[in-house]
Chain A
């Protein structure tokens, strides 16, 4: 199965990083979350209700919609905050990438661990810029808001192609497809990873990988 990969690129000020990424991640998760499944006898199930919340950004002229789940919001905010801290502490030129990967688990026999097979990956490339004065910042607020709007439309366009989605699982396999840990909503299994690009334009992780490969080749 080929994993679908989409890349979104945003150029923002440092204080806009969190909100820009949150808006895009939540927009994606809104489409990739369902209500909680309640399995009944005879192999049927019913689905809970997903609420939505409008969120106004403080540093961007933008409003986005997220799933009404405080638990999910906390998890996503934590991941974005870690990325933002890594970005600001890295000493790089302010470039990094955060990825939201949806995957399925494939049970393997002991002693092998379960395999995680991604079926959709969203990568958000972030370029951080520094602005000189308040007027530029004000323009940036509006411009970034417009850009994020375009990204939301891109996301919607991709999702509404209705390409591969995991098959609805049986009760025994639901944890291989969905994240059932939350109380109120049920997103597809996902993980968030990030990498910071150093000033040479290479990511730190690829540099490490190269070092290890070079060492092994000796």
Chain B
């Protein structure tokens, strides 16, 4: 089969496939970092941009890819696969997609290696760039952050799709025929995200300052499983740095491709500069391991700077001054949050220790507090009303000395403390917090909003509902009933005429 392929072409072809595999991994992993990618065009060839495309090389990714390949090239039964999975903060993980680079035995002997194959591989890489933004995992990767992160795993061998669940879809990115086989690039992606339906991935509000290293697993006494995720933090560098780094790593892998415009029948003068064969032949550290299809390791796609659109997991405990979670929250109900957050706001930010030691309590919404108890010295500081006042309010604390109230028939009123006399009680454990509505000041009006609210929270009972008079009125009603009936019967004609008028 290869006898018709010149040694030069064979070397070129192996080189192209090797670097195509490495660039494929870079494109896929970078598309799942959660950030938008942007590279510059250069009118002059730089010598280090394979396939004439500006694809940065993340050193860790290249290292992992080379480790997986272990000096081999994709071939029959030896596919290079990049598996993208998702791991939540609770430790659940799910495979989302598997990208496969396969080479089958269908050959095209007539195709020109250094021209047609190279250009077609370049087009295939462009297709990969486009398709990686289209699969469902892309949108998820743009939302990764505190709730979940994306992991990648590179393996070499048989394709494993069982982790994608039922009904996974496949999309073929493209094929390139070569004299030694047909290179096929495809993606199989999960469609059943049922496990993730209860999770919250729709969090548009980011939080700055989150350190995305929650999933860095510390080694546990040397018993680290072989398949444990390895975090790979990538710090975005300038192109020059990456170019230099790539140059240092692949100093002899210069890609200076010249093409000829001569007719195909003439000998083409293209030359691809590449190093001695030492770089091409990497003896596998463990050939058996290279062919082992088990899970070797995963790598965490994180970035040092949290993506601007990263979703976050807000909890009330972490954000005491944040009133509400995002509107898409499906966990705590808003009312629960309000209660919890309100409870939090009673703690003074100025005296955290004291506030933690004190039981801060808010005046209930329906507690009727006389206006004289309102502190005249209202501070203009925000949330000053929520600062603990010590024992100042203790003597007139309606919660401790419930004022007298008229007997109430309403169960709602019965559960509230209403106006009444003062009393004494043990006020040592309580810190009274004055009820101050937001943005309301005492000095503006004779009666401020809070006072008004409290004054009219408990309106006087209706006379007719009072139990003392109700029985009397009932008796009076019964007594007067026959007289009323007599009057109505007397005026029955008028009533009939009225009813007829209505028809």
Contacts and interface: CB of A to CB of B under 8 A. Distances in A.
A45 B54 contact: no
A8 interface: no
B258 A46 contact: yes
B335 interface: no
Pick the most buried of A38, A43, A170: most chain B CB atoms within 10 A of its CB: A43
Given A43-B261, A152-B134, A160-B173, A35 B52 contact: yes
Contact of B139 (A46, A47, A54, A61): A61
Given A35-B52, A49-B54, A68-B54, A156 B173 contact: yes
Interface residues of B, number: 46
Interface in A160-184: 160, 162, 168-171, 183-184
B172 A45 contact: no
B130 A160 contact: no
Interface string A33-69: 0111011101111111111111010000101110111
Interface in A63-86: 63-65, 67-69
Interface in B130-145: 130-131, 133-135, 138-139, 142
Nearest to B262: A43
B37 interface: yes
B45 A38 contact: yes
Contacts of A27: 130
Given A44-B269, A61-B139, A160 B43 contact: no
B174 A63 contact: no
A38 B49 CA distance: 16
B256 interface: yes
Contact of B131 (A42, A51, A53, A152): A152
Nearest to A170: B261
A2 to B, nearest CB: 21
B41 interface: yes
Interface in A104-162: 149, 152-153, 155-157, 159-160, 162
Pick the most buried of A49, A52, A160, A171: most chain B CB atoms within 10 A of its CB: A49
A53 B41 CA distance: 10
B259 A185 contact: no
B129 A50 contact: no
B45 A52 contact: no
Nearest to B185: A160
Contacts, number: 144
A79 B503 CA distance: 71
B175 interface: yes
Interface residues of A, number: 46
Contacts of B175: 160
A30 to B, nearest CB: 5
Contact of B42 (A160, A162, A184): A184
Contacts of B39: 51-53, 68
B236 interface: no
Contacts of B40: 51, 68
Contact of B127 (A42, A54, A160): A160
B134 A149 contact: yes
Given A35-B45, A46-B258, A49-B45, A54 B52 contact: no
Interface in B109-146: 115, 120, 123-124, 126-127, 129-131, 133-135, 138-139, 142
B138 A51 contact: no
Given A31-B126, A156-B173, 12 more contacts: A30-B129, A44-B259, A44-B261, A45-B261, A46-B45, A46-B258, A48-B43, A48-B44, A49-B41, A49-B46, A52-B53, A64-B130
14 contacts: A30-B126, A36-B43, A47-B45, A49-B46, A49-B52, A49-B53, A51-B39, A53-B36, A56-B36, A69-B41, A159-B123, A162-B123, A168-B261, A183-B43
Interface of B: 36-46, 49, 52-54, 115, 120, 123-124, 126-127, 129-131, 133-135, 138-139, 142, 171-177, 256-262, 269-270
**10 shortest interchain CB distances as A-B pairs:** A160-B174, A51-B39, A149-B134, A51-B54, A54-B36, A184-B41, A51-B41, A44-B258, A36-B43, A49-B42
